[in-house]
Amino acid sequence: MKKIFPLSKVYSLLEAGPVVMLSTAFKGRNNVMTLSWHTMIDFNPPLVGCVISDRNYTFEAVKKTRECVINIPTLEIAGKAVACGNVSGRRTDKFSVFGLTPEKSAAVKAPSVKECYASLECRLADARLAGKYNLFIFEVVKARVDTSVKDPRTVHHRGGEAFMVAGRTIKIKSKMA
């Protein structure tokens, strides 16, 4: 069950580099794609940069609706996440085909993915580099996280069919800090 999560801590969900599922609602249809090319840009309000190819159906959906949800899957649904990354939403209802549940979001019309442990509701903040680099900068306006998930087994793309599953969490103190 997801609860509201402080925006100032959103960076801790994303900077480990998990595969994410980006969901949109466009022309009356829900859609979801999978990507690994994202980075935090600023802490608070949290800004996130995402590369979305202009060959993807989501590119137009994001440009037109100016919102999306960045959902973070774990190992349990990694197969579905990868499948969503390999088929276009132009002609496929991926939520239905892959057995994912659209969940009402709190601040945007785009649906969240219920099966993901975290959902970051975003508004498009800057599309200046969308033309040249397919790079969109989103502001996270609401974050909802299932905080019962400790050490989430996020998946991290190593190229091709290879994915690294999140290992153990350790503490590293800096002697100089």
Tell me, residue by residue from 101 to 140, as one string, x for binding to a second copy by CB under 8 A and - for no binding: -------------------------x-xx--xxxx-x---
- Sign of the dihedral defined by the CA atoms of residues 36, 69, 55, 87, in that order: positive
Length of the chain: 177
> Taking Cα atoms as reference points, which of 3, 117, 105, 108 lies closest to residue 71?
117
Q: What whole-number distance in Å separates Cα of residue 41 and Cα of residue 14?
A: 11
Q: Which of residues 4, 29, 42, 45 is near a second copy by CB under 8 A?
A: 42
Q: Are 7 and 44 a contacting pair, CB within 8 Å? A: yes
Report whether 137 contacts 42 (CB < 8 A).
Answer: no
Q: Does 150 contact a second copy by CB under 8 A?
A: no
Select from 22, 25, 47, 130 the one that contacts a second copy (CB under 8 A): 47
Q: Which stretch binds a second copy (CB under 8 A): 44-52, 60-68, 107-115, 140-148?
A: 44-52
Query: What are residue 37's DSSP bridge partners?
Result: none
The token pair at 133 is 């680099």
* Closest distance of CB 107 from a second copy, Å: 22
For residue 161, state whether it binds a second copy (rule: CB under 8 A).
yes
- Nearest distance from C-beta of residue 60 to a second copy, angstroms: 20
Contact with a second copy (CB under 8 A) among 7, 40, 124, 149: 40
Backbone angles phi, psi at 56, to 5 degrees: -85, 145
The verdict on 7 binding a second copy (CB under 8 A) reads no
Q: Which is nearer to a second copy, 26 or 136 (CB)?
A: 136
Residues whose CB falls within 8 Å of the CB of residue 64, separated by 6 or more in sequence, listed in order: 26
Residues at the interface with a second copy (CB under 8 A): 9, 11-12, 15-18, 36-42, 47, 49, 51, 78-79, 82-83, 85-87, 126, 128-129, 132-135, 137, 151, 153-177
